[in-house]
Structure 1
Amino acid sequence: MSFRLSARSRTRMAGLHPDLVRVIEGAIAITPVDFTISEGLRKPARQAELVKAGASRTLNSRHLTGHAVDVAAWIGGTLRWDWPLYPRIAGAFKQAAIDLDVPLVWGGDWPRLRDGPHFELCRKTYP
């Protein structure tokens, strides 16, 4: 099954690093679970709001530089946050990253504060 990014998702990708955009475009073509872009580039004020709300633990987010994106599973016209959907989406992101030779980190692989919707370019390669 092949999905496409909506106009809204493409708008939310504005300001992202071109290699991250390529991975997103590769992932949407092979994902078994449709997804939408929930957040890409963030302003410092938005990041501060998320920290204050407990949705983030850092003011130094990769979102601030366009090196991170958050996605949401899109099932039957509804956003879904069920954990089992996100490893399936992550598999598509990881495969697209391998195919494009772009080092990528999935927040779902973090040992603490696992973040299934979050993907970012590796800090070592993309400081």
Structure 2
Amino acid sequence: MTFNLSKRSRARLVGVHPDLVAIVERAIQITGVDFMVTEGLRSVTRQKELFAAKATRTMNSRHLTGHAVDVAAMVAGEVRWDWPLYPRIAQAFKQAALERGTPIIWGGDWKSLKDGPHFELDRKAYP
């Protein structure tokens, strides 16, 4: 089954680096798990709010520069946070990145504070 990005997801990609947008657009075509974009470019104010709420541990987020997106798995039209869904979404993101030759980092691969919904352009290639 092929999924499509909603208008809401597309709106949340405004200000995100075009290379990452292209990965998101390809990932939705090849994923086995539907997803929506929950956040792309963040303002400093929004980052401070998330930091204060302990929803992030950094003020140096890649979201502040449009180099990161967060997604949420969608199952039967409902947002799901079940961990096993996110490696499946990540597989589509990684394949899309490989096809485009664009290095990305998945938050689920981090050694600590695993962040399954988070994808960002690799800082080594996108400082």
TM-score range, shorter chain: over 0.9
For structure 1, list consecutive stretches of 5 or more residues without a partner in the other structure: none
Secondary structure of 1:69 counterpart: strand
Paired with 1:50 and 1:74, the residues of 2 have a C-alpha distance of 23
Aligned partner of 2:79 in structure 1 is 79
Shift of 1:77: 1.1
Runs of 4+ in 1 over 2 A off after TM superposition: none
Paired with 2:61 and 2:2, the residues of 1 have a C-alpha distance of 31
Aligned partner of 1:28 in structure 2 is 28
CA shift digits 1:78-122 (9 cap, x unpaired): 100000000000000000000000000000000000000000000
Q: Which letter does structure 2 place at the counterpart of 1:68?
A: A
For structure 2, list consecutive stretches of 5 or more residues without a partner in the other structure: none
Equivalences for 1:61-72 in 2 at 5 Å? Answer: 61-72=61-72
| Superposition RMSD in Å | 0.4
Shift of 1:48: 0.6
Matched, 1:105 2:105: yes
The total of aligned residue pairs comes to 127
CA shift digits 1:23-46 (9 cap, x unpaired): 001100000000000000000010
Secondary structure of 1:51 counterpart: helix
Aligned partner of 2:125 in structure 1 is 125
Paired with 2:78 and 2:48, the residues of 1 have a C-alpha distance of 28
TM-score where L is the length of structure 2: 0.99
Secondary structure of 2:111 counterpart: coil
TM-score where L is the length of structure 1: 0.99
- What percentage of residue pairs aligned between the two structures are identical? 66
Aligned partner of 1:16 in structure 2 is 16
Aligned partner of 1:43 in structure 2 is 43
Q: Which letter does structure 2 place at the counterpart of 1:17?
A: H
CA shift digits 1:44-93 (9 cap, x unpaired): 01001111111100011000000000000011111000000000000000
